[in-house]
């Protein structure tokens, strides 16, 4: 199995004709670092089925169109090989797309969007931004995690307290892959598996993302607005695309574990439950110092309930 298979799956779950991902975003998707050659040689990004990385996007229906620029921009542009079917919608409205609905898939949620809608918090102007929920009620992927043996996982600080219990109660799994152990626990209705997961690790999740490409590579503050109040304020020092479309927007197996980023599972779970009534607002800023300071000030002042209930 190629380590680039997650990229294939990620691209297949997107309907955009053109997708731009930073190399760091790709590393997040595949849960592994790209090799040095990916930055040194244009040929690494060739649309060539003989290479595992090339197959990962070609089999998803995309090709790389800026191979010669990746080393300098650290951004990769994937374009659909067949662009004969393109759809446009009136500005300001994200239309619902007809899809075959399966057990864990629903049609895209329509989001009415007013580009002039803003919120002013202590002198900071937040602009409402559009997003799409592509799929809802997806089961937690924690059973897909297989990066470590149980013994290696227990060496991490998050799981040190579990070693004694496992050595006494489950010694036969100590040198087995963690995926095998977790599946055994779940199949036998043994709730010990929850000790490896964060608070929201077993929740149902969704796949969502921002759609305004003009905001993708900006950074700053953001907030969630739900039923008339600001319920969450956060900061983003890399870019909004990575924060929402990569991290919050799609849950990877490692996110469900205590060593993963618990905020990702928490915010995605909330979006899955309340997304049809949530509004996302962005406040682009350029200074990292201002981003950090203003986030703290605004949280202290407005005390959003989703910030306080971590």
Query: Which of 309, 203, 208, 209 shows the shortest CA–CA distance to 256?
Result: 203
Listed in order, the ranges of the chain carrying CATH 3.40.1440.10 are 93-140+202-308
What residues contact residue 239 under an 8 Å CB cut-off, 6+ apart?
22, 216, 217, 218, 219
The pLDDT of residue 43 is 80
CA 160 to CA 153: how far, in whole Å? 9
Question: Given this model, what pLDDT does residue 310 score?
Answer: 65
C-alpha to C-alpha distance for 115 and 127, rounded to whole angstroms: 8
For the chain (310 residues), the mean pLDDT of every run of 10, in chain order, is: 86 87 89 80 82 89 90 89 44 33 38 64 92 93 93 96 96 96 92 95 94 94 95 96 94 94 95 95 94 94 88
What does residue 243 show for φ and ψ, rounded to 5 degrees?
A: -65, -50
* Phi, psi dihedrals of residue 282, rounded to the nearest 5°: -120, 145
CATH fold group of domain 93-140+202-308: GIY-YIG endonuclease (3.40.1440)
Q: How far is Cα 38 from Cα 72, in angstroms, rounded to an integer?
A: 11
DSSP assignment of 139-173 equals PP-GGG--SSBHHHHTTSGGGGGGHHHHHHH-GGG
């Amino acid at each position: 199995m190629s380590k680039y298979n997650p990229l294939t799956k990620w691209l297949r779950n997107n309907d955009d004709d053109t997708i731009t991902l930073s190399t760091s975003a790709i590393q997040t998707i595949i849960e592994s670092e790209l090799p040095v050659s990916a930055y040194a040689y244009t040929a690494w990004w060739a649309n060539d089925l003989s290479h595992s990385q090339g197959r990962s996007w070609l089999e998803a229906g995309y090709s790389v169109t800026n191979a010669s620029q990746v080393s300098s921009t650290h951004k990769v542009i994937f374009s659909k090989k067949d662009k004969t079917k393109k759809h446009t919608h009136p500005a300001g409205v994200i239309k619902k797309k007809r899809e075959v609905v399966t057990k864990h898939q629903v049609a895209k949620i329509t989001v009415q969007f007013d580009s002039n809608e803003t919120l002013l918090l202590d002198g900071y102007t937040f602009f409402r931004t559009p997003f799409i929920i592509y799929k809802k009620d997806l089961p937690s992927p924690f059973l897909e995690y297989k990066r470590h043996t149980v013994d290696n996982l227990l060496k991490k600080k998050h799981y040190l307290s579990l070693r004694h219990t496992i050595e006494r109660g489950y010694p036969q799994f100590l040198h087995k892959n963690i995926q095998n152990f977790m599946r055994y626990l779940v199949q036998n209705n043994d709730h010990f598996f929850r000790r490896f997961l964060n608070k929201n690790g077993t929740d149902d999740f969704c796949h969502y993302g921002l759609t305004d490409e003009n905001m993708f590579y900006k950074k700053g503050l953001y907030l969630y607005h739900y039923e008339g109040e600001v319920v969450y304020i956060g900061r983003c020092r890399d870019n909004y695309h990575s924060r929402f479309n990569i991290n919050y927007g799609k849950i990877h197996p490692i996110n469900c574990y205590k060593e993963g980023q618990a905020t990702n599972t928490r915010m995605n779970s909330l979006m899955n439950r309340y997304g049809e009534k949530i509004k996302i607002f962005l406040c682009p800023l350029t200074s990292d110092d201002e981003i950090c300071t203003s986030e703290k000030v605004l949280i202290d002042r407005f005390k959003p309930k989703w910030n306080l209930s971590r």
